[in-house]
Amino acid sequence: TIWPIFCELLSRMRSLLVLCLAATAVSAVWEDNTNTLSAKSDQIPIKYATLSAQRSGSGWFRSMLVSHPHVMDQREVFGKDFGFFRHLAESCMPSMSEDSREHAQAFLKKTVDIPDNSTDVVKYWKPAADLVSHFNDGTFEVTGFKWMMNQGLYQVVPEAVEYFNKENFKVIVLERKNFLRQAISVYQLQQTPQGSAHLKHADKSIMNLKLPITSDQFVHFFQSHESFSQHYDTIEATGNDVIRISYEQLMAEPEETIQKVYEFLGIDSLPVSTGQYVKTHSGPVGDYVEDWENVREELMKTKYANKVKLWEQHLAESIEEIAEEEGTFLFEGCF
């Protein structure tokens, strides 16, 4: 009869329907997982730049920042000649992620005519910034670099801000408000072996030398750093994504300050390694500047008189200097 055949056909159709439903469910789950994995693998790393000046605590700031395993910082890159960047792009390309390799190749094409010994940062800062901000092996969520005001930045502030805005950089401004203390530290830097800003030895004989700084030299330093401060104002006012912190803030609350920066960068909060630092100038100004009484008397005749008095009062509150930058470059063997 037809009835048994009909029942058998109906049973097979039910089985086929169950298989179809199961296949549809598996396909949906697979597609969802694939999209999730793809989204994670295609996530664009956050880019940032730390803008600062000598003896503002930027070395210590960086060493604390990179204690986070997801942060990669290329340190102070514009203090080198152009050959550094070319060597970086050529030698490290095999270790780079696919995206990083594309940027490295683009960098080499754009800068083919620039000689290795060039130090004219104004001519190549943009492709160099693009290279180092994409310098990643694919494992870091955040990549960045440090750019000092006296390394060509002050010459291109409007252009740099425009570039940072266009390329979705997060900008960290790290300044020092006590110009008197900063000036002493900068001039002391010139007396250290090899000009090292990061003193590793316990011998403080060099750090405690009285420095022959004249009132004119102090005034020139104050003027230049007033200009830097005005540039910081411009960056803060016109930048899309800027955080501004001070050396004094960093010294008073190092871990809290770094946590604020982690939040600004959009990464998880983790315990901060504050590293090691040593005291370099723990006494009054006269202990570190030759003929300070006469130098001070001349400074009292300038527009900086009240500020010098204030900076003297706060001198002892910011006496620590960085021992050594911690962390390593990505692809250390490439350098």
Q: What is the pLDDT of residues 18-33, one digit of tens each?
A: 555 554 544 443 344 4
Q: Do residues 235 and 228 lie in contact, with contact meaning Cβ atoms separated by under 8 Å? A: no
**Residue among 334, 264, 269 nearest 48 (CA):** 264
Burial pattern 306-322, b for ≥16 Cβ within 10 A else e, equals ebbeebbeebeebbbbb
**Residue-level pLDDT at 158:** 96
User: How is residue 189 written in tokens?
Assistant: 């830097």
Give the end-to-end CA distance of the chain in Å, rounded to a whole number: 86
Q: Do residues 76 and 146 lie in contact, with contact meaning Cβ atoms separated by under 8 Å? A: yes
Q: Round to whole Å and give the CA distance between 307 and 6.
A: 100
What H or E segment, with its residue span, contains residue 38? Answer: helix 2-41
Q: Reduced to 3 states, what is the DSSP secondary structure of residue 146?
A: strand
Confidence band of 40 (pLDDT split at 50, 70, 90): very low
Question: CB neighbours (10 Å) of residue 259?
Answer: 15
Confidence band of 197 (pLDDT split at 50, 70, 90): very low
The DSSP call for residue 43 is P
Q: Looking at residues 185-209, what average pLDDT do you find?
A: 62
Confidence band of 115 (pLDDT split at 50, 70, 90): very high
- Percent of the chain residues past pLDDT 70, beyond the cut: 73
What H or E segment, with its residue span, contains residue 123? Answer: helix 121-133
Please check the confidence at residue 334 and state whether its pLDDT lies above 70: no
User: How is residue 81 written in tokens?
Assistant: 């000649």
Q: Do residues 133 and 89 lie in contact, with contact meaning Cβ atoms separated by under 8 Å? A: no
pLDDT tens figures, 146-172: 999 999 999 999 999 999 999 999 999
pLDDT tens figures, 295-328: 999 999 999 999 999 998 875 444 344 434 444 4
Please check the confidence at residue 331 and state whether its pLDDT lies above 50: no
DSSP-derived secondary structure for 258-274: HHHHHHHHT--------
Region of residue 291 (left: phi > 0; alpha: psi -120 to 50; beta: else): left
- 145 bridge partner residues: 49
**Residue-level pLDDT at 35:** 39
Question: CB neighbours (10 Å) of residue 298?
Answer: 13
Confidence band of 136 (pLDDT split at 50, 70, 90): confident
The chain-wide mean pLDDT, for the chain, equals 80
| Lowest mean pLDDT, pick from 42-51, 176-185, 326-335 | 326-335
> Quick one: how far is CA 307 from the chain centroid?
29
**Residue-level pLDDT at 60:** 87
Please check the confidence at residue 190 and state whether its pLDDT lies above 90: no
Going by C-beta distance under 8 Å and a sequence separation of 6 or more, which residues neighbour residue 327?
62, 63, 66, 67, 73
User: How is residue 162 written in tokens?
Assistant: 């425009």
| Lowest mean pLDDT, pick from 54-58, 160-164, 228-232 | 54-58
**Residue-level pLDDT at 328:** 41
**Residue among 262, 283, 151 nearest 209 (CA):** 283
Strands 142-148 and 71-76: parallel
**Residue-level pLDDT at 87:** 87
**Residue-level pLDDT at 185:** 87
Residue 72 identity: M
- 322 bridge partner residues: 277
